[in-house]
C-alpha cells in the first residue's frame, strides 16, 4: 500500500508532467499561428487544454481527499506542482490571445493586398 506522502509525490509529478506538456503545446501553437497555420495552432491549443485538465484533475484529487479527512504534510514538490499548473494555465490563456491576434493580423493583411 502506498502511503499518503508517496501518493502526493506521484500526484505532484503527474501535475508537473501534464502542465509541462501543455506548455510545450502552447509554445508550438503560438509558433504555428505566427507562421500562418491557424488550424494547427487551434489543434495544439486543444491538446494543451486537455493536458491542463489532466493536471487539474490530479490536483483536485488531493483537495477532495483532504476534504474527506486525509492529512498531508505538504512537500515543496506539491507546492511547486501547483505553482507550475497555475503559471501554465495563464500561459494557455495568453497563447489563445496571441493566436487570436496573429489570425486577425493575417486576415487583415491579406485583405489589404
CATH code for the domain of 49: 1.20.58.80
- Tens-digit pLDDT string for the chain (113 aa): 568 889 999 999 999 999 999 999 999 999 999 999 999 999 999 999 999 999 999 999 999 998 999 888 888 999 999 999 999 999 999 999 999 999 999 999 888 76
Look at the chain and report how many structural domains it folds into.
1
**pTM attached to this predicted model:** 0.90
**What pLDDT sits at residue 1?**
57
How confident is the model at residue 68, as a pLDDT? 93
* Residues composing the chain: 113
The closest of 95, 102, 100, 91 to 35, measured between CA atoms, is: 102
| Dist. CA 19–CA 87, nearest whole Å | 9
Q: Catalytic residues, which ones?
A: 80
- Domain with 84, as residue range(s), is 4-112
Q: Give the integer Cα–Cα distance in Å for 17 and 109.
A: 38
Identify the pLDDT of residue 10: 95
Amino acid at each position: 500500500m502506498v502511503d499518503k506522502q508517496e501518493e502526493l509525490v506521484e500526484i505532484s509529478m503527474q501535475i508537473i508532467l501534464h502542465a509541462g506538456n501543455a506548455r510545450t503545446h502552447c509554445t508550438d501553437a503560438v509558433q504555428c499561428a505566427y507562421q500562418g497555420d491557424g488550424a494547427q495552432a487551434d489543434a495544439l491549443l486543444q491538446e494543451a487544454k486537455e493536458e491542463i485538465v489532466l493536471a487539474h484533475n490530479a490536483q483536485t484529487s488531493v483537495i477532495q481527499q483532504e476534504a474527506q479527512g486525509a492529512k498531508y504534510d505538504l512537500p515543496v514538490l506539491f507546492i511547486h506542482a501547483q505553482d507550475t499548473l497555475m503559471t501554465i494555465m495563464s500561459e494557455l490563456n495568453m497563447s489563445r490571445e496571441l493566436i487570436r491576434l496573429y489570425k486577425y493580423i493575417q486576415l487583415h493583411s491579406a485583405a489589404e493586398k
